[in-house]
Amino acid sequence: MTALATRSSRPDGRRRPRARHAVGGLARMERRWGIGLALPVVVGFVLFTVGPMIASFVISLTDWTIGGKVRWVGFGNYRAMFGSDDLFSKSLGVTLYYTLLAVPLGLAIAFGASLLLNRDVRGRGLFRVLFYLPVLVPSVASAVLWTWVYNPDFGLLNQLLRAAHLPTSQWIYSDTMAIPSLAIMSAWGFGNATVIFLAGLQGVPRHLYEAIDVDGGGAWAKFRYITVPMMTPTIFYNLVMGLIATFQVFNEAYLMTSGGPDNATLFYNYYLWRTAFSDGRLGYASALAWVLFLIVVVATALVFRSARRWVYYETGDGR
């Protein structure tokens, strides 16, 4: 008798119904294969993501500095972060400012480009390729390229402004213009979001536009009352992806500005990296990482919560 049978025996000798637990041969085989095939991912996730996350949380409760002795400090790192670390608030402010500029700008440009590319114009395929090309440029190459574009003396932008007799800018070398400059640079890689928007646009039913035509509405009415509402799930997706990406921005500060001038581009992730691998303060850096994780979770949750008010799903509550 199986263990199951033993356990399911009642004092009165009758057995519990086993239908809920018992499975057939095919189902059993499917389950074994399912577990077997999922196992590498699950094990990888546990070992290389969840495990290190727990480890980093434990480390964040210590004052571990590379080469030094490790002491348990409880939530001391978190208290220091919110109490006395000006660079924490500075880096958080810089990252939020960048997010507020880069995400809407990127969404607007990508959405606009997708509307243009969705029209039936000659060479549409070529335009789609051209708009997508910047995505294929590695981020390091892109950073080097834009460093030249933004050079105040020789850069392309200031040359154009000079030619038009307009005032020039110090761009990434100015503490006030550095973040807007990087936000403009990030918008250059709008191709990914554009492709997703394009896919969304092609899913908007034609008969809705025809209904507007019948009602005598123009292009604006079609855009305002059909395109935008029908595209809100796609906008929502790109918004969430954009938010997460901008919270984790690093390359620009590392390659172009080193966090300067005067910490104007001290992005949170760059500060985290510097704390860990330049200052060697792994305990504090782990605490910074956990706070970033929580910020991203909360921001994403807030966006999801707000989605109920502005995202329209044709199939009802089909999230």
Chosen residue from 30, 33, 38, 46 binding another protein by CB under 8 A: 46
Q: Is residue 141 at the binding interface for another protein, with CB under 8 A as the rule?
A: no
Quote the least distance from Cβ 170 to another protein, whole Å. Answer: 6
* Smallest separation, CB 58 to another protein (Å): 7
- Rule CB under 8 A: is residue 315 a binding residue for another protein? no
Q: How far is the CB of 150 from another protein (least distance, A)?
A: 9
Judged by DSSP in three states, 281 sits in strand
> With respect to another protein, which residue has the nearer C-beta, 114 or 269?
269
Does 276 engage in binding with another protein (CB under 8 A)?
yes
Q: Which part of the chain contacts another protein (CB under 8 A), choosing from 71-79, 111-119, 221-229, 272-280? A: 272-280
Amino acid at 65: T
Cis peptide before 17 (omega within 30 of 0): no
Q: According to CB under 8 A, which one of 50, 108, 133, 199 is a site residue for another protein?
A: 50
Is the C-alpha dihedral spanning 185, 189, 193, 198 positive or negative?
A: positive
Q: What residues numbered 96-135 form the site for another protein, per CB under 8 A?
A: none
Query: For another protein, which residue of 38, 54, 166, 297 counts as binding (CB under 8 A)?
Result: 54
Q: How many residues bind another protein (CB under 8 A)?
A: 49
What is the spatial distance between Cα 254 and Cα 250, in angstroms, rounded to a whole number? 6
* Residue 274 binds another protein, judged by CB under 8 A: yes
Among 251, 261, 299, 303, binds another protein (CB under 8 A): 261
CA-angle at 255, arms to 253 and 261, nearest 5°: 50
306 contact partners, CB below 8 Å, separation of at least 6: none
Residues from 162 through 221 that contact another protein (CB under 8 A): 170, 173-175
Distance, CA of 301 to CA of 104 (rounded, Å): 18
CB of 229 to another protein, least distance (A): 42
Residues 155 and 147: their CA atoms lie apart, in Å, by: 8
Shortest distance, CB of residue 76 to another protein, whole angstroms? Answer: 17
C-alpha–C-alpha distance, residues 271 and 249, integer Å: 11
Sole binder of another protein in the list 9, 15, 33, 66 (CB under 8 A): 66
The label of the residue with tokens 């348990």 reads 72
Q: How far is CA 37 from CA 24, 58, 161, 301, 302, in A?
A: 20, 31, 59, 31, 35
* Per CB under 8 A, 58 contacts another protein: yes
Cα separation of 226 and 246, whole Å?
30
Stretch that binds another protein, among 185-193, 233-241, 269-277, 298-306 (CB under 8 A): 269-277
Among the listed residues 159, 232, 251, 263, the single contact to another protein using CB under 8 A: 263
What does the alpha-carbon distance between residue 166 and residue 162 come to, in Å, rounded to a whole number?
6
Q: Cα separation of 123 and 177, whole Å?
A: 36
Told to check if 21 binds another protein by CB under 8 A, we report yes
User: Is residue 77 a contact partner of residue 61, using CB atoms and an 8 Å limit?
Assistant: yes
Residues that bind another protein in the complex, under the rule CB under 8 A: 2, 4, 18, 21-23, 25, 28, 43, 46-48, 50-52, 54-56, 58-59, 65-69, 86, 147-148, 151-154, 170, 173-175, 258-263, 274, 276-280, 282
